[in-house]
Structure 1
């Protein structure tokens, strides 16, 4: 796939905006980046371009802290079931990157942003994690195997746990390494990675880093809650636009 100047500009804007969200509120890079890119770039190519900068930021997020092994022991069943389910669903249903998957991704973005805007926070006890982790992992892997994004039910579930803010951020980094790694393998099997997408993904690290830096600076100046609401409303609009494909 050869990128036009308009597509290159949209990719740069997508990763700057997604990076700002990542820097300001700690989450949101994959759904925001992919949601914006699909306005100009096919979903399969958007997912392929997204994997490299997302893996880069999440490796840093995973190792930055003192809870790497402790958190991996806590969530390894979630990581394992999500990885296995994603690979199986992508290989058997063959929907990853398809036009129908683009519409379902829109539905997922609408659901995710609506839940987040309503500030609905279910509570899951540590005792319930033993069986909830693999169930939520399988559910998240199934969604990601079709849409390429595991925001639902993965992120609402993680935010419902008895876990402090620093551990949550590090745990998300750890788990996204597995999810994005599995997605990368599934896309590689489909032949989604061509030279353009690989170069585009590597180049996207620059606008992503700029966005993260801007988001971190803005977080100190303005309310993180205001940023969160602005990005979620924008994500809701993108999701509604994408979901029209199911009508």
Structure 2
């Protein structure tokens, strides 16, 4: 199937694409994560997950580089180096073994990933990782995150729970998530290229989605000081559960 066949059918739905990326940007601006989860979760309702993931590449890359920032990046990068290596190996290896997300199974896996992510966010208990285990566990968690990324295009599980277990302060945690998400985005792009699922045309549309995504992120950062982040996050996670259940039920029933 031609990689752009679905976009020819969606040429009159640019407002829909823009609205999805504005919403995803707002979520990321308020809570510091969730852009790929929201964008791919919603876009996968109207296009194959592989094409949704291709559209995500540039908005995700730019917002995560912005989030990671230059401040005290080296100590965070040094501490998380094994995890970054695992992400790259897991994502590219998963893309080679599994292939680009496609078909009913990918929608089911994506729905399950959304539900698991949301349920953990709502009820997951916190835990602490001992420093002596960080190198080995970081590599394993990175590889697992990469496999999930290759299969679904979502790269928050199990990365985010692990990062929260490392006892970073708030600013360092936001930076660590930005770093890991940047690595995941680049690895996902490499995996899509490996499977011939990323073209110049995809990147062109992805670039057009930068503006609504960045506008949403700026709006979300402004809203962060006015809204209660815990309340917003709870509503966001409940919405993800409903979206995930819908995706799984649609394919199974």
Check whether TM > 0.5.
yes
Query: Which residue of structure 1 lines up, in the alignment, with residue 86 of structure 2?
Result: 81
Deviation per CA, 1:125-163: give whole Å up to 9, x if none.
323212210111111112112112122111111122211
- Secondary structure of the 1:152 match is coil
**Structure 2 counterparts to residues 223-238 of structure 1, below 5 A:** 223-238=228-243
RMSD: 1.6
Looking at structure 2, the residues matched to 119 and 91 of structure 1 have their Cα atoms a distance apart, in angstroms, of: 32
- Secondary structure of the 1:222 match is coil
Query: Which residue of structure 2 lines up, in the alignment, with residue 8 of structure 1?
Result: 14
Q: Is structure 2 residue 149 aligned with structure 1 residue 144?
A: yes
**Structure 2 counterparts to residues 62-211 of structure 1, below 5 A:** 62-65=68-71, 67-211=72-216
For residue 60 of structure 1, report the CA deviation from its aligned partner. 1.5
For residue 90 of structure 1, report the CA deviation from its aligned partner. 0.9
Match of 2:67 among 61, 84, 88: 61
Q: Is structure 2 residue 48 aligned with structure 1 residue 29?
A: no
TM-score by length of structure 2 reads 0.91
Query: 1:49·1:201 contact (CA, 8 Å) conserved in 2?
Result: yes
TM-score by length of structure 1 reads 0.94
Looking at structure 2, the residues matched to 203 and 186 of structure 1 have their Cα atoms a distance apart, in angstroms, of: 22
Looking at structure 1, the residues matched to 120 and 31 of structure 2 have their Cα atoms a distance apart, in angstroms, of: 16
Structure 1 unaligned spans of 5+:
none
Give the stretch that moved more between structures: 12-21 or 189-198: 189-198
Deviation per CA, 1:157-176: give whole Å up to 9, x if none.
11222111111111111111
Structure 2 unaligned spans of 5+:
none
